[in-house]
Amino acid sequence: MTTHTVLNPATAQPVTEVPLASAEETDVLIERAAEAFPAWRDVAPGERARLLRAFAAVVDAHVEELAELEVRNAGHTLGNARWEAGNVRDCLNYYSASPERLFGRQIPVPGGVDITFREPLGVVGVIVPWNFPMPIAGWGFAPALAAGNTVVLKPAELTPLTAIRIGELAVEAGLPEGVFTVIPGKGSVVGQRFVEHPAVRKICFTGSTEVGKQIMAGCAEQVKRVTLELGGKSANIVFADADIARAAATAPYAVFDNAGQDCCARSRILVERSAYDEFLGRLESAVKGMRVTDPGSDPDSEMGPLISAQQKATVTGYLDDVEVAFSGPAPDLDGFWVPPTVVLSDDPAERIWRAEVFGPVVAVMPFDDEAEAVRLANDTEYGLSGSIFTRDVGKALRVARGVETGNLSVNSHAAVRYWTPFGGFKQSGLGRELGPDAPNAFTEEKNVFIASD
């Protein structure tokens, strides 16, 4: 049996060994999920709701344990990890209201009545990356289960521990066997089988744009449903009329949270030229004041390590051809540490301005007017997130409508909320997750005409 050695990224020390499923084992578990589907589909809506609430309650009772696991496995700060485990609970509670609200429609037609039903798909395959193992899993499995599907979930090879535990908690909460199955393994094996196995009727993928494209192409073979949440290179646009102190004090957390390993990271900062010097001065103090420490020994750590030696090499590789303006601290430990780093950019063609670095590196560029800010913000293949800082509400609205991105915050860097839709424009993704309509994305709409004559 092949195994993966999970490392603590803060120290590079081994945590545990996790067995990796083979293609054959994956097929067996997918087929079990397919067998469990008809009974789960037929569970009365109120009972399915009760089971999801019970699942949420069991997760709630284990928030601290899950958070500690994530600190060790992913190097997340304790505050973030607690929020992430709580987010799984909240997401389950939110979607526990859905089974009783999967409404169809009644459409006027002559000679009878036309009604629609929301039918679950069958087995849904959720493929999760390593950057936010718990919330990203929950955003897929909670609405999928609520809609009456069974779920197979593949955590990232690097970060399987919380998903494995959440799978056990589902059984403890009373979910029937085969309804929710966590399958640790390699993307090229387990993930690939999700795409190829005909019993899997939808893939809900979060990860790199490159793998997302491969999955979309693979799904085309069976016209398999697919939702893709992919990369980003989001802009934080700061106008001169904004509260510059607030914009500069919050900007580091909008990009260096989770050590920059965040698809919504505001990794390009655009600052109106007349406020540029003031903003940079304040940004420098904020970045140098960040608390970058081992989250395993400092519960107040604000930024931890990168996930792996490979990710560290990728991120530092982007710094080879640029001049660093200033950086924050990083501890002298054996783990995968990169300090929060600020680069000044004056050419939108530069690699550092265009590529999704997925690490604690931000590029700052001045702009002269509103039109230029929107043009520069949109000059990217991505379109996931972004922020706008201004005191002019009209300008905020104009710019918000002009920026081609799925999720924007004004005078804030608000993160993803489970009760509002989330998804990307352009190469940042396909489809929407979360929000009140999310369970519909895990159904087909069936149209039934009943003749009255």
Q: Which residues are catalytic?
A: 229, 263
Using the rule CB under 6 A, give the single segment among 48-56, 60-68, 166-174, 180-188 that binds ligand NDP.
180-188
Verify binding: residue 151, ligand NDP, rule CB under 6 A.
no
Of the candidates 67, 56, 49, 46, the one whose C-alpha atom is nearest the C-alpha of residue 90 is 56
Verify binding: residue 157, ligand NDP, rule CB under 6 A.
yes
CA distances to 355, 356, 381 from 231, in Å? 10, 7, 10
By CB under 6 A, the residues from 348 to 387 that bind ligand NDP are 356, 358
DSSP letter (8 states) at residue 307: S
Binding residue for ligand NDP (CB under 6 A) from 127, 134, 200, 365?
Answer: 127
Cβ at position 18, least distance to ligand NDP in Å: 11
Of 41 and 186, CB closest to ligand NDP: 186
Verify binding: residue 123, ligand NDP, rule CB under 6 A.
no
Verify binding: residue 116, ligand NDP, rule CB under 6 A.
no
Verify binding: residue 138, ligand NDP, rule CB under 6 A.
no
Binding residue for ligand NDP (CB under 6 A) from 129, 295, 305, 340?
Answer: 129
Quick check: 185 and 24 in contact, CB under 8 A? Answer: no
Verify binding: residue 162, ligand NDP, rule CB under 6 A.
no
Q: CB-based contacts of 405: which residues, under 8 Å, 6+ apart?
A: 234, 235, 377, 382, 383, 384, 385, 386, 424, 425, 428
Give the residue carrying structure tokens 């905020």. Answer: 396
Quick check: 176 and 148 in contact, CB under 8 A? Answer: no
Binding residue for ligand NDP (CB under 6 A) from 138, 187, 296, 360?
Answer: 187
Task: Report the alpha-carbon distance of residue 137 to residue 80 in Å, rounded.
Answer: 16
Using the rule CB under 6 A, give the single segment among 79-87, 112-120, 200-208, 402-410 that binds ligand NDP.
200-208
Of 229 and 272, CB closest to ligand NDP: 229
Cβ at position 219, least distance to ligand NDP in Å: 10
Q: Are strands 225-229 and 200-206 parallel, antiparallel or unpaired?
A: parallel
Cα dihedral 422, 424, 429, 431, rounded to 10, equals 50
Q: CB-based contacts of 17: which residues, under 8 Å, 6+ apart?
A: 3, 4, 5, 6
Verify binding: residue 186, ligand NDP, rule CB under 6 A.
yes
Of 156 and 269, CB closest to ligand NDP: 156
Question: Pattern 201-240, binding to ligand NDP, x per CB under 6 A?
Answer: -----xxx--x--xx-------------xxx---------
Cβ at position 33, least distance to ligand NDP in Å: 17
Could you give the angle at the alpha carbon of 143 between the alpha carbons of 138 and 149, nearest 5°? Answer: 110
CA distances to 65, 71, 165, 421, 430 from 148, in Å? 29, 32, 22, 20, 22
Q: Where are the alpha helices (DSSP H) in 300-358?
A: 309-319, 351-354
Half-sphere exposure of 113 (CA within 13 A, CB side): 6
Cβ at position 71, least distance to ligand NDP in Å: 19
Cβ at position 64, least distance to ligand NDP in Å: 25
Of 95 and 358, CB closest to ligand NDP: 358
Verify binding: residue 191, ligand NDP, rule CB under 6 A.
yes
Verify binding: residue 163, ligand NDP, rule CB under 6 A.
no
Residues that bind ligand NDP (CB under 6 A): 127-131, 154, 156-158, 186-188, 191-192, 195, 206-208, 211, 214-215, 229-231, 263, 314, 356, 358
